[in-house]
Amino acid sequence: MRLLFLLITVFAIPQAGFSAPPNIVWFVVDDMSPSFSCYGETLIQTPAVDKLAAEGTKFTQAYVTAPVCSTCRSALITGMYQTTIGAHHHRSGRGEMKIHLPPDVSPVPVQLQKAGYYTCIGSGLPDLDHRGMTFGNPKGKRKGGPASRLGKTDYNFEWDPKMYDSHDWAEHGGKPFFMQVQLHGGKLREGDAKARAAFKQRVIAELGSATDPQKVTLPPYYPRDPVLLEDWALYLDSARLTDLHVGRVIARLEKEGLLATTLLIFMTDHGISHARGKQFLYDEGSHIPFIVRGPGIAKGAVRDDLVMQIDMAAISLAAAGVPIPKTMQGRDILAKDYSPRGTIFAARDRCDETIEHLRSTRTDRFLYIRNFLPLRPHLQPNAYKDGKAIVQTLRALHTEGKLPSVSEDLLFSPARQPEELYDYRADPFQLTNLAANPNFKSELEALRSQMEHWIKESGDKGPESEAMYDSDMAEYLKKKSPEVEQNIALMKQWAKEGK
């Protein structure tokens, strides 16, 4: 009788559809938009992700609350807006000044561990790393030592490494396990010309062919330049390799007899890394794939309501029978009594050395963006982005006066409008700003009011202090990069000028 009581104490009643606490597997992919055939991409085929969608529920209107790795991941692992918990500046809290979670906020692995789960984070495959390459491959080594078998975390707050028991579920010992499969995704195509050429050869070796750059369709604000076309083709090939890895993990679960009792969630941490994608609040940067598969999950279903990556936390806790904290901002979107949101929000703040302050409000039709620093250009200097061949090419074409007007207006205007409003249903690439259009005055005012309410109600922490900026920049300055040093000086100069 005492044993029964203990079991009930450890494992609360799981969500409807699960007869026992399920295994939970998250696929979290870097730098990738919904570029999968089940989401309408026609140039490539992605059978594994397509099968997930066919056997589960696909969400077409899923968005991140932050379009860059560390802030997005800080939010998804806590189920909280990064702006609420003070983790909204990219790679913050890395210097002498640290960031601590509020007392009533706890990472999902901690909560699941307390409920009896075996928690792990890695590649999902015993012999392959986050790139789908063999462990020990020299190219897998990071500065300071060999590649770790543990997966990417990148949280902007202090956390206890013990919240992960292992890099893999192999030693779960019969306990239900929580596995975060962290994949390199769109980052696979990054690097210099030699690295990109090697990646293309890998694609041909593993998949039989590479995507033809001439068949690529670019967003209308990117010129059909050979560098950009080749990059986008390699990006699509990174989606194909990601799909291959996902298929292998699922095959492993099935081989081990675990698939039937496992809840799987597939998503990416933001959109494609490009000039208007990663780091920005347009669809290219914030729209993500989101698929849920498992016992009790509707098969082949498609949902068009607005959801966010922070909902992963609530979904997982509910499935495990762990009470969802009342303060958690993510929601169990699978609950029978769930009422779809009418509005969602997102934010972009400092990324590396580059100071920014953007907020967005989205309904099922309109996207409203507030530029709190409108006197700064869209493409502010940033060592990370300026190191990419695609951005270097765009800057060179701009200098030479060879960009089409739409590219000049959207990418290289020296300043921005304080407010942007898009009918993103009719204007999927967000080309036409309706903020000054009198026909949309009521929509603009409503969304502006909703944003102001959300900023106050959610406890948005806003810009970081100069002391915190200096603390984190001390870490960046250790890289001895003249470009980073120049950018930091420029950020301080612009701040003094009121830009």
pTM assigned to the model: 0.94
Q: Give residue 232's identity as a one-letter amino acid code.
A: W
Q: What is the DSSP letter of 358?
A: E
Residue ranges of alpha helices (H) inside 272-345 are 283-286, 311-320
CA-based nearest residue to 99, from 80, 118, 119, 121 = 80
- Assigned token pair, 202: 């890998």
Q: What is the DSSP string of 68-110?
A: SHHHHHHHHTTTS-HHHHT--STT-S-SSS-----TT---HHH
What is the pLDDT, as a whole number, of residue 17? 61
What pLDDT score was predicted for residue 9? 37
Q: What is the pLDDT of residue 139?
A: 54
Ordered mean pLDDT values, 10 residues apiece, the chain (499 residues) = 37 59 98 98 98 98 98 98 98 98 98 98 96 75 55 97 97 96 98 96 98 98 98 98 98 98 98 98 98 97 98 98 97 97 98 98 98 98 97 98 97 97 98 98 98 98 98 97 98 97
CA distances for 372 relative to 82, 143, 368, 475, angstroms: 18, 36, 13, 26
Burial class (CB in 10 A: 0-12, 13-18, 19+), 256: exposed
Per-residue CA distances from 342 to 109, 305, 364, 389 (Å): 29, 8, 7, 39
Q: Which CATH superfamily is domain 2-342 in?
A: Alkaline Phosphatase, subunit A (3.40.720.10)
Check residue 19 and give its pLDDT.
Answer: 66
User: What residue segments make up the domains of the chain, in order of their start?
Assistant: 2-342, 358-496
Which residues are 274's β-sheet partners? Answer: none
Place of tokens 């986008």: 232
Q: Which H helix or E strand runs over 202? A: helix 193-207
